[in-house]
Amino acid sequence: LNLNNAEFIRSAAKAADFPRDMLPQVVFAGRSNVGKSSVINKLLNRKNFARVGSAPGKTTHINYFLIDKKLYLVDLPGYGYAKVSQAEKARWGRLIESWFADQTLMTLGVLIVDSRHKPTADDCVMADWFKQSGRPFVVVANKLDKLKKSEIEPNLQRVRETLELDESVKVIPFSAEKGEGRTALLDAILDHQEG
Ligand code: GTP
Ligand code: MG
């Protein structure tokens, strides 16, 4: 898979905008500001490919990036941002729901959480969506660079316990800032390239 051959395809605001070309899709989900776009940038070794914003809730549409004309990376809009209106939250819910309802093409789910904190109730709900999808998924524990060495193991364990992950689900320690975990995540994606 040639990661240098990456193109932005589109921003989808509704199911009618989803691509219909039957290519496999790797989806990135997580709380607003957890670093979904940054993880995609780091994977592709690009600086500002998937948009990165300091203002949370910046990604409000589902962004599709096509890699080597073979596979999509799908950047879902973040959840759990308090300052978003009820109407926006409802819109988010409908959009994600229609995405999952449609997704026979998801080859791998990537749930991104903040390694500093205990996963939130919203993270647990998202983990359940992935479990129910019946598709393989991994959890990326991002912002590892913000942890002390001694915090790493207990925090990773807390992620696994709180999300009630079974043994088969990998928790990948990751830093979109420093690049840690990039190879492990890439391997997971390549392992599930074919669906
Ligand atoms: P939304 O699109 O709003 O849902 O956010 P997002 O999940 O795409 O997060 P984004 O990639 O925009 O990153 C949010 C902020 O966190 C930015 O300021 C990033 O620079 C920062 N950030 C992301 N990953 C890391 C990381 O691993 N370490 C550190 N220190 N900062 C990070
Ligand atoms: Mg984003």
Taking only the tens place, the pLDDT of each residue in 90-130 is: 888 888 888 988 777 899 999 999 999 999 999 999 999 99
Which two three-digit tokens encode residue 179? Answer: 């690049």
pLDDT at 180: 97
- Structure confidence by residue, pLDDT tens digits, 80-98: 877 778 888 888 888 888 8
- Residues near ligand 1 (Cβ within 6 A): 30, 32-38, 52-54, 56-59, 78, 142-143, 145-146, 175-177
Q: Using a CB cutoff of 5 Å, list residues around ligand 2, an ion.
A: 36-37, 59
Share above pLDDT 70 across residues of the chain, in percent, rounded to a whole number: 95
Atom of ligand 1 nearest to the CA of 146: 30
Alpha carbon of 69 to ligand 2 centroid (Å): 22
- Measuring CA to CA, which residue among 33, 12, 13 is closest to residue 91? 13
pLDDT at 82: 73
Name the residue with the closest Cα to ligand 1, atom 16: 35
| Ligand nearest the Cα atom of residue 78 | 1
Which two three-digit tokens encode residue 144? Answer: 């590892």
Provide the domain count of the chain: 1
Maximum distance among all Cα pairs of the chain, rounded to whole angstroms: 47
- Residue for token pair 């973040």: 78
Alpha carbon of 152 to ligand 2 centroid (Å): 25
ipTM: 0.99
Q: What is the mean pLDDT of each run of 10 residues along the chain (195 residues)?
A: 93 90 93 93 90 66 93 91 82 88 86 98 95 94 98 98 97 97 97 79
Residue type, 46: R
Specify the pTM.
0.95
1 in a domain, yes or no?
no
pLDDT at 53: 65
Give me the domain span that covers residue 120: 6-191
- Establish how many alpha carbons lie within 13 A of residue 123's alpha carbon, considering only the half-sphere containing its beta carbon: 25
CATH number for position 63? 3.40.50.300
Which of the listed residues 28, 41, 52, 81 should we mutate to test ligand 1's pocket, taking the one with most ligand atoms within 8 A of CB? 52
